[in-house]
Amino acid sequence: MTVISELVAALAPEKVLTDPDVTDSYARDRTFLEPGRPLAVVLAHTRDDVVAVMRWATEHRVPVVPRGAGTGLAGGATAVEGCVVLALHKMTAIRELSPADETAVVEPGVITADLDRAAREHGLMYAPDPSSYEISTIGGNLATNAGGLRCVKYGVTRDSAMGLEVVLADGRVINTGRRTVKGVTGYDLTGLFVGSEGTLGVITAATVRLRRAPSVYPATIAAEFTSLRDAASAVSAIIAAGCQPSLMEMLDRNTLKAIDDWRNIGLEDSTRAMLIAQSDAVDGPAVSERMAELCTANGAAFVAVSSSAQEAEELIGVRRMAYQAKERLGKCLVEDVCVPRSLLPDMIEKIEAIAVKYDVLITTVAHAGDGNLHPVFIFDHALTEPPPQVWAAADELFRETLRMGGTLTGEHGVGLLKRRWLALETGPVTEEIHHGIKRVFDPLGILNPGKAI
C-alpha cells in the first residue's frame, strides 16, 4: 500500500485530493510567494480527521501545513514541498453559544463575521474584527493572533480566546484553558498556541469570549487632512483626551487614491490622509462630536459625522476596501509593523521618507489607536517577487521600527516573509527558547516547517 493509499484508507477518498490542478489552489495564501507542491490536500470535516492525518504524518515523517481560508498575508499557510495541506475550512460548526456565560465554542472553519452575526442574535458580539472578517476563519485568526478594526478597544484574538482543543503533532488531543472568567491553573498554553501559526499543534475548536453588543449603532466620524502627520497628531490627541474609541483607522493619500480610482469616493486633490473613528459607548454621539472637534483642532480640513447606521457603515466601508484596491495596482508586499502610539507621527514620516529614498510605491493604512501600521509595498504584476529596492526599503522600515521600540508584526504573523528579520527583534537567547518549545510540541519538525520561528 502506498503512503497516500494509507491516508485515504484512514479517512475517505473524497477527503483526500491529489490532482495537481486542484491541490495547487490550496497551496497559496494572499502573498506573492511561490509555494511548494503538496503531496495531497486533506479536507478535514471533524477532529478525528485531523487526528488521523497527524498520526499518519508522524508515522511517515510527512510535513503538514494547516490552512484556513488562505487569507494570510505573511506566507504562513503556503505549502512546502511534499507536504500535506490540512484544510480546515469544512469544520464550520458553532458547537455552543451561551448567552448566560457570554461564550461560544466554535470550530476553526467558522467565518469570523458568521460568529459575530450569531452572537448578535443574542445581544452579544464577537469583538475581533479583521478587515477580512467576511472571508477569514476563526482558526486562521487564532493562528496569527489577528487584530482588526475594533482592537483599539477590545484587543486582539488572544484577548477573546479562553480555551482550545488542539491536536498535537503525534495525533494526541489536549484541551487548554478554561470556560471560566478566571483561571491560572498551570502554564497559559492557550496563549502559547494563539499566534503560533500552526507550528505547535492544529486547533480544532476554541472557546471564545463574547461581549455585549452596543445598544445603538456606533457613531462614526471621517476626517480629511492635508497632512499625514496632522492626522497622526489627531490620533494622539483623541487618545490623550480619554475618548476611548472602539475603532480608529487612518488611510494615507496613496491608499485613498487607489480606492478612489476603483470606487470613485470623491477624493479631494488636497486630501493627504483620512482618519475614521468610532465610539460604541452609550454616549457615543457625544464622544464622536468630541473626536471631530479634536480632529479640527489638529488641522482637519473636513469632518463628517454619521447620522445613521447606514452612513456609519458607508464610512467604515471605505476602510474595508483598502487592500482590494491596492491589489489592483500590482503585487503587494504587505507589512504590519507596530510602534508605541506616541511615536505614530514619527513612524508615518519615516515611511514617507523611505518611499522617496528608494523610489517605491508604499500605501499605508493603520490601526492608528494601536500604533499598528500596514505599509504595503506595491510592485509590478509581472515580477515573481519584489525587486531589490523594495526589499531594501522594507529592511530600513523594519530596522527603524525596532529602533523606536516597536515590533515586526502586530497581527499578520511572521510566516515566511519576516523570518529574515526575526533575529533582530528576538535575539539569540529568545530564539533558542523558541526552538526548544517547538521541539517539545513537534519533535519531528513536521508541523508547518520553516514558518514563524
H or E segment at 434? helix 422-441
In three-state secondary structure terms, 37 is coil
Q: Which three cell numbers stand for residue 218?
A: 456606533
> Is residue 1 pLDDT above 70, yes or no?
no
CATH topology assigned to domain 330-403 = Alpha-Beta Plaits (3.30.70)
- Give the C-alpha separation, 69 to 90, whole Å: 10
Q: Which three cell numbers stand for residue 290?
A: 468630541
Per CATH, domain 94-212 is 3.90.230.10: no
- Give the C-alpha separation, 205 to 92, whole Å: 10
- Give the C-alpha separation, 174 to 165, whole Å: 6
The confidence score (pLDDT) of residue 187 equals 96
> Is residue 197 pLDDT above 80, yes or no?
yes
The confidence score (pLDDT) of residue 216 equals 84
- What is the C-alpha R_g of the chain? 22
Q: Which three cell numbers stand for residue 154?
A: 477590545
Kindly report, residue by residue over 167-185, the tens digit of the pLDDT: 999 999 999 999 998 889 9
Ranges of CATH 3.30.70.2190 domains, the chain: 219-321
Once rounded to an integer, what is the mean pLDDT over residues 230-247?
94
> Is residue 29 pLDDT above 60, yes or no?
yes
Kindly report, residue by residue over 277-330, the tens digit of the pLDDT: 999 999 999 999 999 999 999 999 999 999 888 988 888 889 989 999 999 999
Residue type, 172: R
According to DSSP, the residues that pair with 177 across neighbouring strands are: 163
DSSP state letter for 338: B
Residue type, 269: D
The confidence score (pLDDT) of residue 307 equals 85
- Give the C-alpha separation, 208 to 158, whole Å: 9
> Is residue 263 pLDDT above 90, yes or no?
yes
The confidence score (pLDDT) of residue 295 equals 98
Query: Which one is predicted more confidently, 342 or 212?
Result: 212
For the segment(s) 3-87, the CATH number from 3.30.565.10, 2.60.200.20, 3.30.43.10, 3.40.50.970 is 3.30.43.10
Ranges of CATH 3.30.70.2740 domains, the chain: 330-403
- DSSP 3-state helix, strand, coil percentages of the chain (rounded to 5)? 40, 20, 40
Q: At what angle do helices 344-358 and 228-240 cross, to 10 degrees?
A: 160
CATH topology assigned to domain 219-321 = Alpha-Beta Plaits (3.30.70)
In this structure, are residues 275 and 209 in contact, taking their beta carbons and an 8 Å threshold?
no
In this structure, are residues 248 and 367 in contact, taking their beta carbons and an 8 Å threshold?
yes
In this structure, are residues 363 and 354 in contact, taking their beta carbons and an 8 Å threshold?
no
The confidence score (pLDDT) of residue 55 equals 98
Kindly report, residue by residue over 409-426, the tens digit of the pLDDT: 999 999 999 999 999 999
- Give the C-alpha separation, 25 to 19, whole Å: 10
In three-state secondary structure terms, 307 is coil
Residue type, 352: E
> Is residue 237 pLDDT above 90, yes or no?
yes
Using CA of residue 141, residue 449, residue 408, residue 432, what is the dihedral sign?
positive
Q: Is 282 exposed, middle or buried (0-12, 13-18, 19+ CB in 10 A)?
A: exposed
Ranges of CATH 3.30.465.10 domains, the chain: 94-212
The confidence score (pLDDT) of residue 309 equals 86
Give residue 104's pLDDT band: very low, low, confident or very high (50, 70, 90).
very high
Ranges of CATH 3.30.43.10 domains, the chain: 3-87
H or E segment at 202? strand 202-209
The percentage of residues in the chain with a pLDDT greater than 90, rounded to a whole number, is 91
E strand segments, 371-437: 372-379
Neighbour count for residue 356 (Cβ, 10 Å): 9
Residue type, 292: A
What's the predicted TM-score (pTM) here? Answer: 0.94
Return all residues near 257 (Cβ < 8 A) that are at least 6 apart.
267
Q: How many residues can be counted in the chain?
A: 453
Q: Which three cell numbers stand for residue 135?
A: 472571508
The confidence score (pLDDT) of residue 312 equals 87
Once rounded to an integer, what is the mean pLDDT over residues 117-144?
96
Task: Please state, rounded to an integer, the average pLDDT across all residues of the chain.
Answer: 95
Neighbour count for residue 384 (Cβ, 10 Å): 8
Once rounded to an integer, what is the mean pLDDT over residues 427-451?
97
H or E segment at 221? strand 219-225
Q: Which candidate, 54, 162, 82, places its Cα nearest to that of 441?
A: 54
In this structure, are residues 365 and 131 in contact, taking their beta carbons and an 8 Å threshold?
no
Kindly report, residue by residue over 329-385, the tens digit of the pLDDT: 999 999 999 999 889 989 999 999 999 999 999 999 999 999 999 999 999 999 999
Kindly report, residue by residue over 57-103, the tens digit of the pLDDT: 999 999 999 999 999 999 999 999 999 999 999 999 999 999 999 99
Once rounded to an integer, what is the mean pLDDT over residues 221-235?
94
Return all residues near 92 (Cβ < 8 A) that are at least 6 apart.
107, 109, 110, 111
